[in-house]
Amino acid sequence: MSLYDVAVIGGGASGITAAIFAARCGAKTVILEKNARIGKKILATGNGRCNLLNANLSEDRFYGDREFVKKAFYNFPLSDMLSFFESIGLPCTELENGKMYPKSLQATSVLDLLREELSRLGVEILTDFEVKSAEKTKNGFKLISSNGFISAKKMIFACGGAAAPQFGTDGSAYKLLTSMGFKMKKTFPALVQLQTENTPKALAGLKTDAAATLFVNGKKIKSTFGEVLFTNYGISGPPIFDLSRQVSEALEKVDTPEISIDLLSDIPYHELTELLSARQKQFSYLKPENFLNGLLPKKLGAEIYKRAKTPRDMAQLIKNFKFKVIKTMGFKNAQVTAGGICTCEVLPETFMSKKQKDLYITGEMLDIDGDCGGFNLSFAWCSGALAGQDAGCEYKNDKSR
């Protein structure tokens, strides 16, 4: 049985990066992945295009411990992440709102080139290897799965969170660390669709640019802007995702979250009332379903007209199309996990455990989550790189390898 220098548990974004950085230093590295292949989730990111970074990377776009995130990005900034992708032959491009993608706009390019780099560096990949327990030994650690075990001098936990279990992340890996005494914050789904009360079925599938504001118990919490998607269960789309973390939190506390959608946020209420009054005079012949057609998508206009007849009422509804949230669509549909292993357990410079030398924790497993827009993957690459670099550094000048 081989003894590895570094074993990375989890072949997702942060685990693959950690393995590459450790192996670049010369460490004999293995990835242990419970799925039949590594990087399954990467392929699903950004709707198959992989929104891998954000040009406006800042700790303000994260939740959990922002000071920790700031320190991590200081040690491995966006420029280092871009150099990393260049070093594997992956040029990136910036699209709307600072979102960055591979130039090919294909998530497969990201995984293909990461895999090429792993292979060039001789990183071993053991798939269908779900680590069930980890033990401290005299020389390092023993990592046990139902198919056997391996030993390694250092181990990096990169097992992801509890969101999107179809990609191997069902939250069961947390116990590997909690059983060793690591502290954990309660988890809940973030970047997730919302089930709302009385969402008009006729709108299912409709997308429109709008401002969305979250109110909790009547108090304004946060506003976002972007493409809102109406569905047969409620509402979705990037601006809704970016409110969903606070919605989840409110639901946990049994508070009442409501989302108000401003369908014409560029027109102030009074102007809109005047505009609709003038429209009513000039176009009195229009059929009801067409009265708002052109100002709003036809189906949406017809729905507003069904509920409000006077220009004032219509303007009010357009500026404040309100939905009471019943629940989120849960971990199964969420993109990320809020909560997780406490950041107080690791150093932001290296992601090494403060209490257990040579044990590292990276990525979504930690109590850090970011907004929609490439922020979560940015944290995964950054944490993986810092942990891998640190775990591998002692093998750097070892000429016997």
Ligand X SMILES: Cc1cc2nc3c(=O)[nH]c(=O)nc-3n(C[C@H](O)[C@H](O)[C@H](O)COP(=O)(O)OP(=O)(O)OC[C@H]3O[C@@H](n4cnc5c(N)ncnc54)[C@H](O)[C@@H]3O)c2cc1C
Least distance between ligand X and beta carbon 314 (Å): 37
Q: Which residue has the tokens 């775990």?
A: 391
CB of 374 to ligand X, least distance (A): 4
> Please, is 312 exposed, middle or buried when counting C-beta atoms within 10 Å of its C-beta (0-12, 13-18, 19+)?
middle
Q: Which is nearer to ligand X, 14 or 231 (CB)?
A: 14
- Closest approach of ligand X to the CB of residue 53, in Å: 8
**Closest approach of ligand X to the CB of residue 384, in Å:** 7
Residue number, 50 or 247, with CB nearest to ligand X: 50
Contacts to ligand X by CB under 6 A: 9-15, 32-35, 40-41, 44-46, 50-51, 130-131, 158-160, 163-164, 168-169, 173, 335-336, 363-365, 374-377, 380
What is d(CA 294, CA 304) in angstroms, rounded to the nearest whole number? 13
Q: Which is nearer to ligand X, 17 or 75 (CB)?
A: 17
Amino acid at 75: N
Q: How far is the CB of 162 from ligand X (least distance, A)?
A: 10
In a 3-state reduction of DSSP, which class is residue 255?
coil
Pick between residue 172 and residue 316 the one whose CB is nearest to ligand X. 172
Q: Residue 175 Cβ, how far from ligand X at the closest point, in Å?
A: 9
Token pair 């404040």: residue: 320
**Interatomic CA distance for residues 19 and 15, integer angstroms:** 6
H or E stretch including 99?
A: strand 99-102
Name the residue with the smallest CB distance to ligand X: 12
Residue (168 or 311) nearer to ligand X, CB: 168
Least distance (Å) between residue 284 CB and ligand X:
48
State the minimum distance, in angstroms, from the CB of residue 161 to ligand X.
7
Q: What are phi and psi of 243, to 5 degrees?
A: -100, -15
Residue number, 230 or 241, with CB nearest to ligand X: 241
**For residues 291 and 375, which CB has a smaller minimum distance to ligand X in the complex?**
375
Measured from the CB atom, the residue of 34 and 299 that comes closer to ligand X is 34
With DSSP H G I counted as helix, E B as strand and the rest as coil, what are the percentages for the chain, rounded to 5? 40, 30, 35
List 194's β-bridge partners, or say none.
Answer: 235, 328
Q: How far is the CB of 295 from ligand X (least distance, A)?
A: 32
* 101 touches 54 (CB < 8 A): no
Distance CA 220, CA 150 (A): 52
In this structure, what DSSP letter does residue 193 have?
A: -
**Of 322, 320, 310, nearest in space to 273 by CA:** 310
Give 289's contacts (C-beta < 8 A, 6+ positions apart). Answer: 298, 301, 302, 305
Q: Which residues contact 53 (CB under 8 A, 6 or more apart)?
A: 78, 81, 82, 92, 100, 374, 377, 378, 381
Residue with Cβ nearer ligand X (45 or 356):
45
